Amino acid sequence: MAKTIGQEFVKGLWEEIPPFRLVLGLCPTLAVTKSVENGIGMGLATTFVLVCANILVSILSGIIPSKIRIACFIIIIATFVTVVELVMQAYTYQLFMELGIFIPLIVVNCIVLGRSEAFASKNGVIPSLADGLGIGIGFTLSLTAISAVRESLGSGTLLGYSIFGPSFEPFSFMVEAPGAFICLGLLLCIMNIIGRK
């Protein structure tokens, strides 16, 4: 367990990058990756919750009785999710409407609870912060990658700009549910091929 802070941070970007390596938090991954903008927004919201929850859990882990720790973690997470929800509603209303119920559903994103339980409750504040930030940014990168594939093929745009020119016929299939599943499955397969070398 002699990992440095830097290593804790970096492992979230490749070694344990969600949702590819840790197959958790699939619902938001599939649901919000219709466009790159939504993907990044969701990623950042989750990162914020992850970092704050990790810090608070690591501070409080000495006080929380182990029998009711899961319930306590969930309340901590829910508090930060409410904060995100209200902030987004106030400043980025458009994005808030697009993401819809998936913002309150960050509460039940297994990545967040998983990190609190598996990492923050056993480590100090600074490593927990690094861990939360690493996993959060890893998650944001994955969402960006998936949404870049889906948006470019499904609507022929990237961040709203047309990239293939007017003659391109978008496969509307990619922005619908089946496209999401198949796209993630194939990306997972590519990750497996790269990871094996």
Partner 1 sequence: MGDYLVLIVSSMLINNITLAQYLGICPFIGTSKKMETATGMAGAVVFVMTLAAIITWCIDTYLLKTLGIEFLRTIAFILVIASLVQFVEMFLKKSIPALYAGLGIFLPLITTNCAVMGVCLINIQEEYKFLEALTASISYALGFGLALILFAGVRERVVLGRVPRPLQDTSIGLVTAGMLALAFIGFKGLV
Report the interface residues with partner 1, using CB under 8 A: 23-27, 30-31, 70-71, 74-75, 78-79, 81-82, 85-86, 100-101, 104-105, 107-110, 113, 176-182, 184-186, 188-190, 192-193, 196
Q: Which is nearer to partner 1, 130 or 184 (CB)?
A: 184
Q: Which is nearer to partner 1, 15 or 176 (CB)?
A: 176
Q: How far is the CB of 164 from partner 1 (least distance, A)?
A: 23
C-alpha distances out from residue 149 to 14, 143, 154, 174, Å: 19, 10, 8, 9
Q: How far is the CB of 102 from partner 1 (least distance, A)?
A: 8
- Residue 40 CB partners (closer than 8 Å, separation 6+): 140, 143, 144, 147
Q: Which is nearer to partner 1, 159 or 182 (CB)?
A: 182
Q: State the virtual CA torsion across 162, 165, 169, 173 in degrees, nearest 10.
A: -30
Residue pair 20/187 in contact by the 8 Å Cβ criterion: yes
Q: How far is the CB of 25 from partner 1 (least distance, A)?
A: 8
Q: Which is nearer to partner 1, 132 or 179 (CB)?
A: 179
Q: What is the DSSP letter of 105?
A: G
CA 170 to chain CA mean position, Å: 27
Select from 59, 121, 48 the least CA-distant residue to 83: 48
Q: How far is the CB of 5 from partner 1 (least distance, A)?
A: 29
